Structure 1
Amino acid sequence: MARYEALGLIETFGLVFALEAADAMCKAAEVELVGYENVASGYISVLVQGDVGACKAAVDAGVAAVNAMEDANLYSYVVIPRPHQDLQKIIKRYAIEGLLPEQK
């Protein structure tokens, strides 16, 4: 996998909020949805990658989308510009490739 300029993450409590964040992130900027992780007890992190500006715009849009929902449950968010190459070890765990059956 190529090294990207930035990573953007949003952590919510609950799948509905995570899906809303992921949808808003992907629609707001030219980012790639890497995947998600059910961190613990309902906390779900969504990870995107792309250039720094796109990740910032995507995370801002995701945060706004979750906060606009009733009973918003946003836990944390971050943009990491120029991530160290060793973070790929963690990112691989998030990858959703191969989880869904291929569409024909």
Structure 2
Amino acid sequence: MASYEALGLVETFGLVFALEAADAMCKASNVELEGYANVASGYITVLVRGDVGACTAAVDAGVAAVEAMEDANVYSSIVIARPHQDIDKIIKRYELSSLVAE
């Protein structure tokens, strides 16, 4: 895994809204889609990595895309600059490579 300066997350309810957020996030700036987490009862968090500015732009775009959809809610969003290395222990569980059979 490459070293990045920031982690960006958007949490919403439902796969359609999470996919819309992920698409907008990846198109908005130079970030890498790290994965997603279906945390509980349909809440889905999309995770991206990149530099701080790129993650900020991506999260802003993801939030705006979801909020533009009818009956959609963004429950939370955050950009974590320079996340502690131990955060990777949690994120590895939700990496796309571990969630999708290749």
> TM-score surpassing 0.5?
yes
Percent identical residues: 77
Matched, 1:39 2:74: no
1:39-76, Cα deviation, whole Å (9 max, x unpaired): 00000000000000000000000000000000112111
Where do 5+ consecutive residues of structure 2 fail to align?
none
Q: Which residue of 2 aligns with 1:27?
A: 27
Structure 1, unaligned runs of 5 or more: none
Aligned length: 101
Using the size of structure 1 for normalisation, the TM-score is: 0.93
Report the 3-state secondary structure (helix = DSSP H, G, I; strand = E; otherwise coil) of the residue aligned with 2:7: strand
Aligned AA (1:24): A
CA RMSD of aligned residues (A): 0.9
TM-score, scaled to structure 2: 0.95
4+ aligned runs moved over 3 Å, structure 1? none
